[in-house]
RNA sequence: GCGCCCGUAGCUCAGCGGAUAGAGCAAUUGACUACGGAUCAAUAGGCCGGGGGUUCAAAUCCCUCCGGGCGCACCA
């Protein structure tokens, strides 16, 4: 039996109890979610429903708990029920009922943990969106890991998700980028506002190789050539870096496309906002009344000199997402983009969408290494590529993926490069490799899955392991709902621990001249189920599940 | 000044109202002539930043103060 099935059964009993009292109080499945008590004396699962309902029902929580407990005792597979403390209902499940989960998981395979929470929901998930003026750094790397994992988790919850990268390839920074490359090609120092760093020198060399006549061109053409060729090379490197990092984008959206054509997407966007009545003219500029939607001041969308602001492109870009059929948009942005939140919400509102429902902006905090934050402009960046070469994709993705986005994070490079338990990715991967080794040894000694007798899974570590396995669907569900993929990593660590402890206590293969029995066969199911859930977990994190290490 | 985020063990961090606040690392001590010891078992370590409040129940929710980070452009 799964926790979900037990919850459903309890819901029926609670509903009956309410009907007997002719109460107007209603309950849903979310009210009867079960906890796994930390203390094993409190049973396998615990419910606080009696305490929650005691007040609205005007009853004593312990008495109500006792009433419910009587009904719960009758649920098939429940071994015993106790009322404890202020009104907790502690439930112990019999070994056979709990153990059947192992077979369920093996049979469901990759599907175990998936749900239809977001069935039919189409989500645009934008993240990284780095300027194509330099390599990806540690900050981008964190969003790449978290964003990609979030996409996987949302898909597991049934959503249709497009990972999207917005390329900021219009604007002054591109000219500064081109000028920097051109200066490097000429052997001149970095221009003011230019980009320093070795990568510019390298790009200049690559540009010269592709355009040997670069320095013979007139200034305007040379700048344009340096900029465009450098841009393509740099963007290609970004794409390669992300692909190596196991991060796949479905859409690479160029800001230039918004500016192209007459009228351009931006022209049309401004007109659409104007038609909705949210645009006005003042001081030669065109403004959007974003204060109507919670912004602290109105924003200029077109300057007095006739040039659109960046905000205009943001608006057109937002509308493009809507036009492409994404009802729901998620933006994953760095902390330095905090000022965007109100503006994006305002655009949504001005476009006639519901800012609270259709747009989510997730602001992530900074990562630092060695206490020093890193800046592209300062030229002391740490690149994704360096980190990856140093730590490996799995360790890097996992290290960045196991923390919530909104907590500032300090990574210790000394610890990260150790291939030990300091980095929990190895702990989890080792558990998976171990399930594989156990299965192989089992086959060699004649243990197969020809029998399944779940009532034999009676050891305390087996009960714990089954309890942990049963939580996976809810963990995925929560991770999707809260946009917190790190929960999957934390769960995987707990599951790996439960597995290692089980491995230490319960053998799958017989030792010595012991004969193969149904205990061994049944444990093989449990072993394989654990391997499956570890694989599913690591898959959601974009981390490999090696068969051996 | 205004807004958002953070403050939990020596360190890095989990813990979206539940029982005795957890993990890893660091420290101390044990377990391989039995499925890989990248493992397991155990000890020690906490006014959950301070103070109020709500609740049967607060690290968690509300208020306030203190400390740290980040934002508040006709920049991109």
CB neighbour class for A414 (10 Å; exposed up to 12, middle 13-18, buried from 19): exposed
DSSP states along A193-243: T---SHHHHHHHHHHHHH-TTGGGS-HHHHHHHHHHHHHHHHHHHHHHHHH
Structure confidence at residue A380 (pLDDT): 61
Q: Give the angle subtended at the CA of A233 by the CAs of A231 and A236, to the nearest 5°.
A: 105
Looking at domain A3-93, its CATH architecture is 2-Layer Sandwich (3.30)
Q: What pTM value is reported for the model?
A: 0.94
State phi, psi for A207 to the nearest 5 degrees: -65, -45
Q: Mean pLDDT by 10-residue block, N- to C-terminus, for chain A (549 residues)?
A: 90 93 86 85 91 89 94 94 92 94 96 94 94 89 94 97 95 92 95 88 96 95 96 96 95 95 93 91 91 85 92 94 94 86 90 89 80 50 82 90 86 67 85 96 94 94 94 94 94 95 95 90 97 97 94
Does domain A128-166+248-367 correspond to CATH entry 3.90.960.10?
no
The residues that bridge with A334 in the sheet, in sequence order, are A364
| B8 C1' to A485 CA distance, Å | 22
Nucleotide nearest to A368 (CA to C1'): B69
Q: How far apart are CA A14 and CA A19, in angstroms?
A: 9
Structure confidence at residue A378 (pLDDT): 45
| B43 C1' to A466 CA distance, Å | 29
ipTM of the complex as predicted: 0.94
Name the closest residue (CA) to the C1' of nucleotide B13. A403
Structure confidence at residue A189 (pLDDT): 93
Query: How many Å is the Cα radius of gyration of chain A?
Result: 29
Structure confidence at residue A377 (pLDDT): 44
| B34 C1' to A514 CA distance, Å | 12
Structure confidence at residue A179 (pLDDT): 95
Nucleotide nearest to A405 (CA to C1'): B5
Structure confidence at residue A370 (pLDDT): 58
Stated length of chain A: 549
Nucleotide nearest to A411 (CA to C1'): B12
Strands (E), A85-195: 88-93, 122-126, 160-167
| B13 C1' to A171 CA distance, Å | 40
Question: Chain B positions under 7 Å from a protein CB?
Answer: 2-7, 11-16, 18-26, 34-41, 55-57, 68-76
A447's tokens: 């243990």
Domain A419-540 classification at class level:
mainly alpha
Nucleotide nearest to A131 (CA to C1'): B76
Answer whether A196's CB lies under 8 Å from A158's CB: no
| B17 C1' to A32 CA distance, Å | 15
Answer whether A328's CB lies under 8 Å from A318's CB: no
Label the pairing between strands A88-93 and A78-84: antiparallel
Closest to A374 measured CA to CA, from A188, A107, A134, A156: A134
| B25 C1' to A43 CA distance, Å | 32
| B3 C1' to A338 CA distance, Å | 9
Q: Where are the domains of chain A?
A: 3-93, 128-166+248-367, 172-244, 419-540
Q: How far apart are CA A486 and CA A104, in angstroms?
A: 26
Nucleotide nearest to A83 (CA to C1'): B19
Same fold, A128-166+248-367 and A419-540: no
Name the closest residue (CA) to the C1' of nucleotide B35. A438
Name the closest residue (CA) to the C1' of nucleotide B2. A296
Coil/strand/helix, residue A166: strand
Neighbouring residues of A230: CB distance < 8 A, sequence distance ≥ 6: A177, A178, A181, A203, A204, A207
Handedness of CA A276, A282, A285, A287 (dihedral sign): negative
Structure confidence at residue A126 (pLDDT): 96
Structure confidence at residue A419 (pLDDT): 62
| B25 C1' to A409 CA distance, Å | 16
């Amino acid at each position: 039996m799964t926790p979900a099935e037990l919850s459903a059964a309890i819901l029926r009993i609670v509903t009956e109890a309410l009907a007997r009292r002719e109460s107007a109080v209603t309950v849903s499945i979310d009210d009867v979610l079960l906890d796994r008590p930390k203390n094993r004396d409190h049973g396998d699962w615990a419910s606080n429903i009696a305490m929650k309902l005691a007040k609205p029902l005007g009853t004593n929580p312990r008495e109500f708990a006792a009433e419910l407990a009587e009904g719960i005792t009758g649920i098939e597979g429940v071994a015993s029920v106790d009322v404890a403390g202020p009104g907790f209902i502690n439930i112990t499940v019999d070994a056979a009922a709990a153990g059947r989960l192992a077979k369920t998981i093996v049979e469901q395979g990759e599907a175990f943990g998936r749900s239809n929470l977001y069935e039919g929901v189409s989500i645009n998930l934008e993240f990284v969106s780095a300027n194509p003026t330099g390599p990806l750094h540690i900050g981008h790397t964190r969003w790449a890991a978290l964003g990609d994992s979030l996409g996987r988790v949302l898909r597991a919850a049934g959503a249709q998700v497009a990972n999207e990268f917005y390329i900021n390839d219009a604007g002054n920074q591109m000219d500064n980028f081109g000028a920097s490359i051109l200066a490097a090609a000429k052997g001149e120092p970095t221009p003011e506002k230019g980009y320093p760093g070795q990568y510019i020198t390298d790009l200049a060399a690559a540009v010269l190789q592709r355009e040997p006549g670069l320095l013979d061109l007139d200034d305007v053409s040379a700048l344009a050539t340096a900029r465009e060729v450098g841009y393509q090379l740099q963007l290609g490197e970004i794409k390669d870096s992300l692909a190596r990092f196991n991060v796949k984008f479905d859409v690479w959206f160029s800001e230039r496309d918004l500016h192209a054509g007459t009228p351009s997407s931006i022209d049309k966007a401004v007109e659409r906002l104007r038609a909705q009545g949210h645009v006005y003219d003042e001081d030669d500029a065109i403004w959007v009344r974003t204060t109507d939607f919670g912004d602290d001041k109105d924003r200029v969308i077109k300057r007095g000199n006739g040039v659109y602001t960046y905000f205009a492109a943001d608006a057109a870009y937002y509308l493009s997402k809507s036009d492409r059929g994404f009802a729901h948009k998620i933006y994953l942005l760095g902390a330095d983009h905090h000022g965007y939140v109100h503006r994006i919400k305002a655009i949504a509102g001005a476009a006639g969408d519901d800012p609270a429902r259709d747009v989510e902006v997730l602001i992530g905090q900074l990562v630092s290494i060695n206490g020093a934050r890193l800046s592209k402009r300062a030229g002391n960046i740490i690149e994704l590529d360096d980190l990856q070469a140093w730590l490996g994709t799995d360790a890097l993705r996992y290290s960045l993926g196991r923390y919530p986005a909104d907590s500032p994070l300090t990574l210790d490079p000394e610890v990260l490069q150790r291939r030990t338990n300091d980095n929990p990715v190895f702990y989890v991967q080792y558990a998976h490799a171990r399930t594989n080794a156990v299965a192989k040894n089992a086959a060699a000694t004649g243990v197969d899955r020809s029998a399944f007798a779940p009532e034999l899974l009676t050891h305390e570590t087996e009960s714990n392991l089954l309890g942990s396995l049963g939580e996976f669907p809810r963990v995925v569900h929560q991770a999707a709902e809260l946009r917190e993929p790190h929960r999957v990593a934390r769960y995987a660590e707990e599951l790996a621990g439960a597995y290692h402890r089980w491995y230490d206590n319960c053998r799958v293969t017989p030792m010595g001249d012991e004969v193969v029995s149904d205990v061994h066969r049944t444990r093989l199911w449990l072993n394989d189920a654990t391997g499956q859930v570890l694989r599913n977990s690591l898959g959601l994190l974009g981390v490999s599940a090696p068969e051996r290490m």
